[in-house]
Amino acid sequence: MSVATYAAAQLLRVLPRVQITRVVGKLADASIPPPLSKLVVGLFTKAYDVNVGESVRPPGAFDSFDAFFTRALVAGARPECPSQSAIVSPSDGRLDAGGDITEGGSFQVKGRPYSAAELLGSEVEAARYSGGQFFIVYLSPRDYHRVHAPVGGTISRVRSMPGDLFPVNSIGERHIRSLFSINRRVAIPIDSPEHGRVTVVMVGAMIVGRITVTGIEERDVSPGTHVYPEPRVIARGDEIGVFHLGSTAVVFLEKGSPKLTHPLGGIRLGAPVHALSPEGEGAPTGSSS
């Protein structure tokens, strides 16, 4: 560990992370005139090598930086996975980790231990994933920042958990214990007839405090459990949430799920990460009730 890295980690601990995030969030939401919008978007696009050609662009210019950052994709920008049984990546980004969850509900990310219960905010929900699988997709500033369903099924409720806003980067992962578990999180459980309950946890970070969820009319999902009046039926690939300035998606799969098949590294929305064995072997053992 270099002196610079250690110093950066100590600085992160004392910075007013929540306050900084709120200020930047207000600036990102502020309306900006078209000439300034084009300048800001152009500079950001060049700095991070963003492919705006695959995005839906309004006539003229984006009316705020947030509108640019949360831009939608044009139809057909991400081809659909041909295997109907596959579990797919919920977003563009980098597949950072994946593997087994122990029978006790713990797993490792880059050598650091994590508890499924802490990340999910529920001992009951974590019990479903004892002996199961997980994978993590990190979204960089250049990526498309909407999150989609890795499987089809129904969503009955969403759990929003308050937390800190440490940056999710190499420094944060190395120096902040249980980083994903202590940051602000939103858990979206999807009950799939084929795969059991698959939960996508959207993890916030510094400058990424705001998370919206499709079907919940709040600009930032408030803490607590949000129950839909009727279960929301979704197809694989449907949008389920949006990061307002990026972060990380952690996906939990029940016991019996197939092993990770996609190599670590770059991944695109809709790319198969897990696929069922022939004739349904390896189906989840948990129920979806």
Q: Is 156 a catalytic residue?
A: no
Least confident of 61-75, 159-173, 194-208, 244-258: 159-173
Active-site option among 66, 92, 96, 143: 92
Looking at residue 141, its amino acid is: P
51 contact partners, CB below 8 Å, separation of at least 6: none
pLDDT average, residue stretch 192-215: 87
Query: How far, in Å, CA of 156 to CA of 58, rounded?
Result: 33
Residue 50 pLDDT exceeds 50: yes
pLDDT value of residue 279: 36
Q: Is 100 a catalytic residue?
A: no
Per-residue confidence band for 56, with pLDDT thresholds at 50, 70 and 90 = very high
pLDDT average, residue stretch 228-247: 92
- pTM of the model as a whole: 0.83
Active-site option among 148, 195, 244, 274: 148
Residue 18 pLDDT exceeds 70: no
Q: Is 164 a catalytic residue?
A: no
Active-site option among 91, 160, 247, 288: 247
